[in-house]
Structure 1
Amino acid sequence: MRTHSLERAFTLLMLFVHGLILLLISGNIWLLSHSVLLVLSVISVLVPIQVLMTFKIQKALLTPYHQLLTALDAIKENDYSVKSISPYSLGISGKAFKEIEDLSQILRKKSLLYKKQNLLSFALIQQLDSPIVILDGDMRIKDGNNALSLWLGKEWSLINLMPASHLQLLKTEQGWKFNATELNNNYSIRSGRYHDELGEHTLLIFTDISKELRRMQKESWQQLVRVLSHEIKNSLTPIQSLAQLLERDSKDENDKEILSIIVDRSKNLNTFVAQYSKIFKPLTINRQQIDLKTFIQTQLSLNEPLSFELNLQVASIVADPVLLEQVFINLIVNAKQASADQCHLTITSYLRANQVVIEFTDNGTGIQNPENLFIPFYTTKPDGQGIGLPLCQNIIEQHGGQLTLTNRVNNQGAIASIRLPATAELNHE
């Protein structure tokens, strides 16, 4: 018969041995004395002694196993401080304890090395400029870096253990992506998986591709501008010169009028080409301390009548006042032209993620063509040239910032948002 535990096998063996001993002793006493009382007296004395001996022998044999189990349980919990000391220095028991102790030391060294590598990896992650989020096996937010906090505009720990969907993240067959189209257009997501003592984790890195796309777009437009400027100027200059000569020598008033139109249109076209070539031109930034309230009120006074409201949490910024004036005037004029009735403009400033945000919120008709806003030459105005917003974008970007235009969510109108790097010199209300 096969037993299923060492304890049971030991108990059965001891019962057999002690039973055999009792039987032999009792048999011999009976043969010598033929006294039942004597036989029972010997059995009553021997049985407790045998039980006590069985307990002590069992304890001596099984204690090493219990110690080994304790050591293995500690190793399972990554606790390598538990020392397994065998009651026997030699034999199979001593060898087993030594192997367990050697295994514990090997795993301890590996654990220390792994923790050091994790600390180094975590330190490197914290230094990266790209937002990084770590998800646990249940796809909940488990960890993040400083760049993630800046990207969120708040400490990432505030969303700890929330589902990945809280960041508008979605896992597809092609990989991870954002639910929001705007985020997908501006960021690519790289993902990886790793295991540690807590289980499987997913590492997601958000890479801002908008700057690279913008840089490539700018280079394409710069190349186009150079070609167009060169070809148009080379063609217009002789036409304008010839038209001026013919106009001066012409006696016919009708011809003079036609030639005058050619000269004027040539000048206007040359002016347009010259202005357009400035859109992507590197600018000399003369940074100065600017009092926002005074600066904005000056620009608004040039566009009366205009109803406005100021909510400036950041009172001053550091920027080029001449260049920033062009941006503010352009945005104010656009808001005014987008309003069929009385234009009401709300201008706010606040600090977010180490950036100064200045928002122009109007009550106009909103943006009908958001994808074409910053494309040069594109305009919906009858007398527009499609230069204003691209020029504003170039000015803000060369300040190290960003210009975006979006429609308001719950009301009619649009929001033009300027983001500039915060500096130590700015003041708060």
Structure 2
Amino acid sequence: MPLGRSARRLSFERGLRVWLYLLGLPMIVLCWLVLREHSVEATLQTITLLGLAMAWIFAISVLMEQIIRPLQTLANVVAALREDDFSFRARGGRRDDAMGDLALEINRLAGTLQGQRASALEAMALVERVMRSMQSPVLAFDPGGRLKLLNAAAERTFGLRVQMALGHSAAQLKLERLLDVADDEVISLGSGQQAIRCVVKKTSFRLRGIPHTLLVLSDVSAALREEERLAWERLIRVLGHEINNSLTPIKSIAGSLRGRLAALNGASGDSVDFERGLEVIENRSESLNRFLQAYRQLMGLPAPRLAPVSLNALVQRVALLERRVAVTFAEMADVVLQVDADHIEQALINLIRNAADAALSPDAIDRATPRVEIEWEIIGAEVVIAVRDNGPGLTNASNLFVPFYTTKPGGTGIGLVLAQQIAQAHRGSVQLSNRMDGQTGCRADLRLPIAG
């Protein structure tokens, strides 16, 4: 039965006080009978009985104070515990005493709750610190699809601010597709060369009894790129083996036949055509062999050996290697990088060669003198080396870093792939885009960390 007040039941204090008063009535009645038996005057009887009643009331008041005050103290302690205030304690408690035992047990309860509260706060602080330091985006949504949790990595990935995003629906934040993905599903975030692929871990948890959806996104782009590289390596190894088995005898036989034809007397028209055909076979075999060797070079790239390198000197050396177009670079503050100089030179050679090919392209809109420009700038902890041309620009950027893909006659399709692989081995990247400075052409950015 609830302990609330009712019309039929007195409060604890009033009930106790009434019973104590009633216990004093027999004493007063007995005293009155004794006084009457001894024929004490009425006035004196009245004074005696009033004094006795006043003394009894005073004694009850003192007794009630001794009973009620400890209970009020314990009530205040319990109320403080309910409000998560663990600083209050009951004093004067001792064992072998009902009220003292109660006070000690409440104090122990307060100490236990305080310890649990401190542990919960420490655990929450640890969770928040882990969430802030995690490189994987973490988000949580309530049953209505409203965002309830967002860590720093998710802010960077989705371009959100936690103060502005919390409480908004997934549709308002353009994150509704995250709620539709299945557990362990791989999704792409971003577009073009900036796109990353993430595997989504999806689970549920309860907060205050309400079910929520927790999403953790793990960037698997690097792992998938490595798997793609290994797949290309296996494919090229098989293709190289099979094609070389055919090219070697073809080239040898073509050379032998040409030698025997040269020894024949006379040179009829048929023998000349036959010799030309053999020469074409030999040349194409050699070209195809070089093509395969280039791919083997791509797949057999060794790990970089880092050493201090002056960026200014490196760019000067590379710029002198391109003779078809004018390669210029602005006087910039020198930067010392911890890189493999040979690898970075090769990456820049490929980027400059592509830029020169684009500048010399007959499709170039700008009919001015073909040119290639190089400059660099420091952005955060990276240096961005920009290679710009005045060619026709990019029309399809989706296949730029796919091996075997090329739009240039006689191209092998490994220049950009090799440059990207070198940059990634240095914890950097290569990005291509059309120029945004009012000029036609393409811009290739080689991003490298300044510290190794």
Using the size of structure 1 for normalisation, the TM-score is 0.72
Q: State the SS of the aligned residue for 1:419.
A: strand
Contact 1:193 1:201 in 2 (8 A): yes
1:390 aligns with 2:396: no
Q: Which residue of 2 aligns with 1:246?
A: 257
Please give the alpha-carbon distance, in whole angstroms, between the structure 2 residues aligned to 1:11 and 1:408: 90
> Which of these two proteins has the greater Rg computed from alpha carbons?
2
2:165 pairs with one of 163, 173, 176: 163
Q: How many residues align?
A: 410
Q: State the SS of the aligned residue for 1:107.
A: helix
Supply the AA of the counterpart residue of 1:222. E
Q: Which residue of 1 aligns with 2:264?
A: none
Contact 1:365 1:413 in 2 (8 A): yes
Q: Which residue of 2 aligns with 1:321?
A: 341
1:369 aligns with 2:396: yes
Q: Which residue of 2 aligns with 1:66?
A: 72
Please give the alpha-carbon distance, in whole angstroms, between the structure 2 residues aligned to 1:70 and 1:360: 75
1:83 aligns with 2:82: no
CA drift of 1:66 comes to 3.0
Please give the alpha-carbon distance, in whole angstroms, between the structure 2 residues aligned to 1:334 and 1:25: 118
Please give the alpha-carbon distance, in whole angstroms, between the structure 1 residues aligned to 2:97 and 2:138: 53
* Structure 1 range deviating more: 383-392 or 12-21: 12-21
1:229 pairs with one of 220, 225, 240: 240
1:188 aligns with 2:199: yes
Superposed, 1:25-424 pairs within 5 Å as 59-85=65-91, 92-114=98-120, 130-131=135-136, 139=147, 148=153, 152=156, 161-163=163-165, 171-174=178-181, 180-182=189-191, 185-190=196-201, 205-250=216-261, 251=267, 252-283=271-302, 285-300=304-319, 302=322, 304-305=325-326, 315-336=335-356, 337=358, 340-341=365-366, 345=373, 347-352=375-380, 354-360=381-387, 366-406=393-433, 415-423=443-451
Contact 1:280 1:394 in 2 (8 A): no
Where does structure 1 lack aligned partners over 5 or more consecutive residues? 425-429
Please give the alpha-carbon distance, in whole angstroms, between the structure 1 residues aligned to 2:197 and 2:377: 24
Distance 1:175 1:347, change over 3 A: farther
Supply the AA of the counterpart residue of 1:69. A
Where does structure 2 lack aligned partners over 5 or more consecutive residues? 262-266
> Residues 77-121 of structure 1, C-alpha deviation per residue, up to 9 Å, x if partnerless?
554443223668655433332332232333344445556656766
Q: State the SS of the aligned residue for 1:221.
A: helix
Contact 2:24 2:56 in 1 (8 A): no
CA drift of 1:307 comes to 7.0
Q: State the SS of the aligned residue for 1:418.
A: strand
> Residues 235-276 of structure 1, C-alpha deviation per residue, up to 9 Å, x if partnerless?
011011111111122251111111111111111111111111
CA drift of 1:377 comes to 0.8
Distance 1:266 1:305, change over 3 A: same
Distance 1:43 1:178, change over 3 A: farther
> Residues 46-103 of structure 1, C-alpha deviation per residue, up to 9 Å, x if partnerless?
79995x7776655544333332233234434554443223668655433332332232
Contact 2:187 2:197 in 1 (8 A): no
Using the size of structure 2 for normalisation, the TM-score is 0.69
Q: State the SS of the aligned residue for 1:384.
A: coil
Please give the alpha-carbon distance, in whole angstroms, between the structure 2 residues aligned to 1:141 and 1:178: 20
Supply the AA of the counterpart residue of 1:187. C
* Structure 1 range deviating more: 107-116 or 207-216: 107-116
Q: State the SS of the aligned residue for 1:278.
A: helix
* Structure 1 range deviating more: 174-183 or 215-224: 174-183
